[in-house]
Amino acid sequence: MKIVVIQGPNLNMLGHREQNIYGGMKLDDIHAQMENVAKQNNINIEFFQSNFEGEIIDRLQECLGDANGVIINPAAYTHTSVAIRDAISALNIPVIEVHISNIYRREEFRQKSLIAPVCSGQISGFGPFGYHLALVALMQILAEFEAIKRKSESEKK
């Protein structure tokens, strides 16, 4: 099983930028924690971060047929990118949207996600722990898919 974690613009600056909003944890530390959980659950996990919308779209498209699920923090593109939304919609695999801050307690323009309607779920406001929650949620979704698939195959026999 393979999960891809995609990080949007400025998330490479975690630990340095607006610690009162995003905390002091660096992106590498978040990824290390996720990697530990993934290893414990025999999951292959890959990480990707870009400040460029097109690169994020390219990475999403590469997930088609290659990944079982995606965790994405589109960052500022959450509120502006129809293109990222369309790329997620085309995947036909579960995608969990994550935000470190509670976007619904922030500026009005940040309170609308163009991405959420095409995702399996959204986790917002739990700080870096939100990535752990997203990983657990995605593992559960994928386990349910696998159980349904096994049941369907056994009924065919």
* pLDDT interval class at 64 (50, 70, 90): very high
* pLDDT interval class at 16 (50, 70, 90): confident
Topology, domain 2-156 = Rossmann fold (3.40.50)
Catalytic annotation, residues: 22, 99
pTM for this prediction: 0.92
Q: pLDDT by residue (tens digit) across 87-144?
A: 999 999 999 999 998 888 877 877 789 999 999 999 999 999 999 999 999 999 999 9
DSSP secondary structure of 90-155: HH-S-EEEEESS-GGGS-GGGS--SSGGGSSEEEESSTTHHHHHHHHHHHHHHHHHHHHHHHHHHH
Which uninterrupted H or E stretch holds 15?
A: none
